[in-house]
């Protein structure tokens, strides 16, 4: 590991806005933020571009960027400290361990911005909009909570449309080309580092906003047209 990465790993351990595999946080995020504002998560946040953008826009919300890679989290956390964004924090952990850190009904909104689409069929269950992840998110979400996906991947976009339909979710917004809109909403004008690169390459940016069903999701019972090859896997 390079010296710069080692230095950043050491630094984030001292940052008050970074929590690294914390214990006893379920239901206690209001103590960290010292308010009762609703929680929004950015999953696989990378450098935290959306975490920062949302925190700047919504002082009455607490935004938490979640990622495993401390070197990336360092950048977002450092910017948040420099800008005194007290409503932005970063959680270093695996996304499939979210239920170790959040209580039922504690999360008001999830953003998934330019995640790895895991295009190989054998990796489909790693997609953050796979029914397996929706089942993980469901008990942690407050009533009426929403999930947002912003991606340049046509495959992940279509896959998520399939999941929404098969899992009984409710589509709130479905935008096949964000920047073809006459006026792009402020929320969607926030750009991540990767989005900037994709736009320079002329790629289309897609967006989905949806709500999970009230009935409990059993991911193993959901069959997707593009997922049938996985039916025999664990």
Nearest one of 175, 195, 194 to 184, comparing CA atoms: 175
> What are 90's strand-pairing partners?
18, 65
Helices (H), 115-192: 131-137, 154-166, 186-189
CB 111 within 8 A of CB 105: no
* Sequence-separated (6 or more) residues with CB below 8 Å from residue 117: 127, 151, 153, 155, 156, 159
Structure tokens at 121: 């069929």
Let me know if 116 is a catalytic residue: yes
| Choice among 82, 96, 116, 174 that is catalytic | 116
Residues with a catalytic annotation lie at 116
């Amino acid at each position: 590991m390079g010296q710069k990465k080692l230095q950043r790993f050491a630094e984030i351990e001292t940052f008050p806005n970074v929590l690294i595999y914390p214990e006893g946080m379920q239901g206690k995020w209001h103590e960290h933020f010292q308010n009762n504002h609703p929680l929004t998560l950015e999953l696989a946040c990378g450098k935290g571009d959306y975490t920062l953008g949302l925190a700047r826009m919504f002082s009455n919300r607490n935004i938490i960027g979640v990622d495993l890679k401390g070197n990336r989290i360092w950048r977002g956390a450092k910017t948040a400290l420099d800008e005194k964004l007290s409503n932005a924090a970063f959680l270093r952990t695996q996304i499939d361990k979210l239920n170790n850190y959040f209580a039922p009904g504690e999360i008001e909104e999830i953003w998934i911005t330019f995640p790895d689409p895991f295009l190989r069929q054998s990796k489909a269950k790693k997609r953050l909009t796979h029914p397996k992840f929706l089942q993980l998110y469901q008990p942690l979400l407050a009533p009426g909570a929403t999930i947002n996906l912003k991606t340049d991947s046509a495959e992940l976009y279509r896959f998520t449309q399939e999941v929404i339909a098969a899992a009984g979710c409710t589509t709130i917004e479905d935008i096949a080309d964000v920047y073809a809109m006459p006026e792009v909403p402020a929320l969607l004008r926030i750009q991540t580092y990767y989005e900037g690169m994709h736009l320079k390459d002329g790629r289309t940016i897609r967006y989905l906003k949806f709500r999970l069903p009230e009935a409990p999701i059993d991911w193993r019972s959901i069959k997707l047209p593009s997922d049938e090859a996985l039916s025999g896997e664990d």
